[in-house]
Amino acid sequence: MAEKTKNKVKIKPLNNFAMLIAISVFEAVLAFSSASASKEFSFLMIGVFALFIALQWAYTAIFYFAFHRRNFELEFIAFFLCSIGLCIIGSIEPKDALKQLIMIIAGMLIFITLVFLLGDTDLCMKLRMPVAIVAVLALAATLVLGKEINGAKNWIVLGSFTIQPSELVKAMFIFVGSATLEKIQTTKNLWAFLGFVVVCIGSLFVMRDFGTALIFFVGFLILAFMNSGDIRTVIYSVGAGLLGSALIIRFKPYVTARFSVYRHVWENYNESGYQQTRVLVGLASGGLLGLGIGAGNVRYLWASTTDLIFGVICEEFGYIFGILTVLCFVGIAVSALINSVAAKSTFYSIAAVAGAGMLLFQTALNIFGITDVLPLTGVTLPFISQGGSSMMSCWAILAFIKASDVRTYNMNGGAKK
């Protein structure tokens, strides 16, 4: 009887290549839809999607046959989300889609490199201090050399090339926090990490990058809870955060001015509430199935391919597709939680949950910000919004979740402990 029960609950794993075929068909539809959205048919968009699809097949085939990996669920979710961004960006400006594809490739290279690096936990422990130093130097360079764009001094401009170091520091923050908390042996180490947290979040406040500062703070809360397992630690941390915020508001009143439009967008619908009110109208007009790619009005707003891109998705793809998009991020978070239970090291568990939590919180900030549920902070929608720094950061964070899955290293020798 026990044998029969065992056989009944056996679940056949998903066929990776069947899933990839389904994603490729979806992306082919997106390619022709985005190419047709312009006044003239864009063959560049067909080329961009053809290259992206080929890249996905090459990646899956190499790691399936050469490295004997069978767990590609996270990558497939990321491919799906990236394709939505490529479609919207390319339907507005095809040249920007090509730039976005280059950033996706850069992100995937970082992802692959990190997954191999994270396989050696001993090396990760040794690298935590150098990585922390690089992170602090990157933020310091932004404070000194940074250019203010859209109210936040968080960009470094090098000719025609711009980079947002705070996005790349997200992955470093998770790496340092997870490696430090996994191997805490002295109080000195803990205080050193707390100092690192204060420097990171404090620098972001000075830059006026409040959205990213909030994401870092949530990441710190998750790291603290994963290490202690005590809810009081989180409560104390939140209390300290609120006290710090109160002091900032007291001595930096311009902070509150940035959020003055919150819950008053309709009173200022042609001024400070212009974007959010138009997004809300677009959400209502899209309905369940959407107006079709290129048929919406949100795409004509400023920041339609960055901060407001979820509004474009709901208006042109529909509510149902918008919910599916959100569920993709939930799926990443659930995967991290499941992986963390069976992970071979505490380092993997802490890093995966912290990374997934930061991605999910960033998604919530973006979606709730443009719909006036939360103050608009100007953060991007992970994997979808236009932006190279953000794209590379998302793929880097995904590497922590991938590394926590015991199947990732089982077929090639296992991770070192």
DSSP string for residues in 33-54 = HHHHHSSS--HHHHHHHHHHHH
pLDDT digits (tens, 9 = 90+) for 61-86: 999 999 999 999 999 999 999 999 99
Q: Which helix (H) or strand (E) holds 148?
A: strand 147-149
For 230, residues 6+ apart whose C-beta sits below 8 A from its C-beta are none
Mean pLDDT by 10 residues, the chain (417 residues): 46 78 97 90 96 98 94 97 97 96 98 96 92 95 87 81 91 92 62 86 87 90 76 63 57 58 83 89 94 95 95 96 97 96 91 96 95 88 96 98 93 46
If phi over 0 gives left and psi between -120 and 50 gives alpha, with beta otherwise, what is residue 138?
Answer: alpha
Question: pTM (2 decimals)?
Answer: 0.91
- Confidence (pLDDT) at 375: 86
Nearest to 238 by CA among 251, 226, 224: 224
> Strand pairing partners for 162?
157
Instruction: Determine contact, residues 172/132, Cβ cutoff 8 Å.
Output: yes
- Confidence (pLDDT) at 225: 81
- Confidence (pLDDT) at 250: 54
- Confidence (pLDDT) at 8: 46
Q: Report the C-alpha gap between 56 and 63 in whole angstroms.
A: 11
- Confidence (pLDDT) at 39: 77
Q: Report the C-alpha gap between 139 and 148 in whole angstroms.
A: 14
User: What are the boundaries of each domain within the chain?
Assistant: 123-410
Q: Report the C-alpha gap between 225 and 248 in whole angstroms.
A: 25
CA 261 to chain centre: 26
- Confidence (pLDDT) at 415: 46
- Confidence (pLDDT) at 262: 80
Average pLDDT in the chain:
87
